[in-house]
């Protein structure tokens, strides 16, 4: 096994040269190690299933990957994202934060090139293949114990949509999906950790299908899931992370001071994939068609059921919204 720091150093160098073929001689010189060592490092990087091609002479990183240096260089936040942990592989970045909760400060960010047991909402799985997806979890430790943290999913969705704007026109499928061309490219999982009745932390987990290729999407999911690379173009995950943190921090700090949800909920309204259409509202016991009217100031989706004409906000996020033919 080569040291993790040497791997990270090689990955950072390759990232600075993404999609260009670089000679092994050049890489070894840039990383201050022997050609033989560089070849061993590249072998391990390939065994980690990272997106590289290499032979005896040259190596190519096929798409930009997560890099701490790159994020730090672009970061303009005051408090959020100043402590970053980048893992090669982890079961779930949300669970990693839970396991290290006492040693991590407010604003800590945990990223992983790969998740082996990524989790979605309602106990679903979330797939995060190495080097082609973005898995990040942000820890918040608010001093206000009564913070209405359920709204943070909408805040994160708004920040994410804005951070993707340079690459694509993303939409939000309430409560936690982000779509491009009506296909899911991202999901958000917000979790709160308590010790007894004490709120210890809130974890905002975000998965983005950044650079997956068509063949990486399992056949049964091809109708509903995609990636930014497939729908728009290859993306640099570090730009998405740094922009996301900046937008999120602005929304979060302003909301803490005045409780006004309008700045971020207006973004959710503008980018809603649902408002103005009719969909099925499903939970574990029922499936009813409704027209989707609006998003209220608490972030609840307001719907009118077609069978009873009753208009109501969906308070719980335990609903799934579905189109006639499936996802949307
Ligand atoms: C969903 O679509 O239901 C939510 C998916 C959330 C996935 C992200 S990836 C980073 C973080 N770690 C996890 O295990 N899940 C979230």
175 within some domain: yes
Q: What is the pLDDT of residues 238-262, one digit of tens each?
A: 999 999 999 999 999 999 999 999 9
Can you give the pLDDT at residue 210?
A: 98
- Contacts for 293 with CB less than 8 Å, ≥ 6 apart: 275, 302, 303, 304, 311
CA of 127 to the centre of ligand 1 (A): 9
Q: Whose CA is nearest to atom 2 of ligand 1?
A: 187
CA of 25 to the centre of ligand 1 (A): 39
CB 250 within 8 A of CB 260: no
- Contacts for 54 with CB less than 8 Å, ≥ 6 apart: 24, 42, 46, 60
90 with 41, same domain? Answer: no
Give residue 202's domain range.
68-270
Q: Whose CA is nearest to atom 9 of ligand 1?
A: 207
Atom of ligand 1 nearest to the CA of 124: 3
Pocket residue to mutate for ligand 1, from 126, 133, 184, most atoms within 8 A of Cβ = 126
Domains: count for the chain: 3
CA of 198 to the centre of ligand 1 (A): 24
Residues with CB under 6 A from ligand 1: 92-94, 115, 118-121, 124, 126, 128, 135-137, 176-177, 187-189, 205-207
Can you give the pLDDT at residue 297?
A: 97
CATH assignment of the domain containing 294: 2.30.30
74 with 52, same domain? Answer: no
150 with 243, same domain? Answer: yes
243 with 128, same domain? Answer: yes
How far CA 39 is from CA of 3, 14, 24, 27, 62, in Å, comes to 14, 13, 8, 10, 17
193 with 316, same domain? Answer: no
290 with 310, same domain? Answer: yes
Take residue 2 and report the two structure tokens written for it: 């080569």
Q: What is the pLDDT of residues 45-92, one digit of tens each?
A: 999 999 999 999 999 999 999 999 999 999 999 999 999 999 999 999
41 within some domain: yes
- Strand, coil or helix: 251: helix
225 with 135, same domain? Answer: yes
79 with 201, same domain? Answer: yes
Q: Whose CA is nearest to atom 15 of ligand 1?
A: 119
Q: What is the pLDDT of residues 102-133, one digit of tens each?
A: 999 999 999 999 999 999 999 999 999 999 99
**Distance between CA atoms of residues 11 and 65, nearest Å:** 8
Q: What is the pLDDT of residues 254-283, one digit of tens each?
A: 999 999 999 999 999 999 999 999 999 999
The average pLDDT across 312-326 equals: 89
327 within some domain: no
95 with 238, same domain? Answer: yes
State the pLDDT confidence band at 158, using cuts at 50, 70 and 90.
Answer: very high
**Distance between CA atoms of residues 300 and 151, nearest Å:** 9
**Distance between CA atoms of residues 250 and 264, nearest Å:** 10
Can you give the pLDDT at residue 54?
A: 94
Q: What is the pLDDT of residues 15-31, one digit of tens each?
A: 999 878 999 999 999 99
133 with 177, same domain? Answer: yes
The verdict on pTM exceeding 0.85 is yes
328 within some domain: no
The average pLDDT across 187-215 equals: 97
pLDDT above 80 for 161: yes
Q: What is the pLDDT of residues 29-49, one digit of tens each?
A: 999 999 999 999 999 999 999
Rg of the chain (C-alpha set): 21
Pocket residue to mutate for ligand 1, from 207, 240, 244, 327, most atoms within 8 A of Cβ = 207
30 with 85, same domain? Answer: no
140 with 249, same domain? Answer: yes
CA of 72 to the centre of ligand 1 (A): 23
CATH assignment of the domain containing 206: 3.30.930.10
224 within some domain: yes
Atom of ligand 1 nearest to the CA of 95: 14
């Amino acid at each position: 096994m080569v040291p993790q720091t040497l791997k990270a150093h090689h990955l950072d160098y390759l990232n600075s040269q993404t999609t260009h073929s670089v000679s092994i001689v050049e890489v070894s010189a840039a990383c201050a190690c022997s050609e033989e060592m560089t070849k061993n490092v590249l072998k391990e990087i390939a065994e980690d299933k990272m997106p590289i091609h290499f032979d005896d002479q040259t190596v190519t990183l096929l798409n930009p990957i997560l890099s701490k240096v790159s994020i730090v260089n672009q970061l303009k936040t005051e408090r959020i994202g100043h402590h970053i942990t980048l893992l090669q592989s982890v079961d779930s970045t949300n669970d990693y934060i839970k396991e290290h909760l006492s040693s991590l400060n407010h604003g800590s960010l945990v990223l992983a090139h790969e998740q082996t047991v990524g989790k979605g909402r309602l106990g679903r799985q979330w797939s995060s293949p190495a080097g082609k997806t973005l898995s990040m979890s942000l820890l918040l430790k608010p001093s206000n114990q009564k913070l209405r943290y359920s709204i943070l999913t909408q805040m994160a969705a708004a920040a994410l949509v804005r951070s993707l704007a340079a690459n694509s026109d993303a939409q939000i499928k309430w409560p936690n999906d982000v779509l491009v061309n009506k296909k899911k490219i991202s999901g958000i999982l917000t979790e709160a950790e308590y010790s007894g009745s004490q709120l210890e932390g809130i974890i905002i987990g975000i998965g983005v299908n950044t650079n997956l290729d068509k063949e990486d999407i399992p056949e049964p999911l091809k109708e509903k899931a995609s990636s930014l690379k497939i729908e728009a173009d290859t993306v640099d995950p570090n730009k998405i992370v740094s922009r996301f943190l900046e937008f999120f921090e602005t929304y979060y700090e302003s909301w803490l001071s005045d409780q006004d949800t309008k700045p971020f909920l207006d973004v959710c309204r503008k980018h809603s994939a649902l408002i103005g259409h009719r969909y099925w509202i499903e939970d574990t016991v029922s499936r009813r068609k409704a027209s989707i009217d609006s998003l209220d100031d608490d972030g609840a989706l307001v719907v009118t059921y077609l069978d009873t004409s009753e208009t109501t906000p969906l308070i719980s996020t335990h609903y799934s919204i579905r189109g006639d033919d499936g996802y949307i």
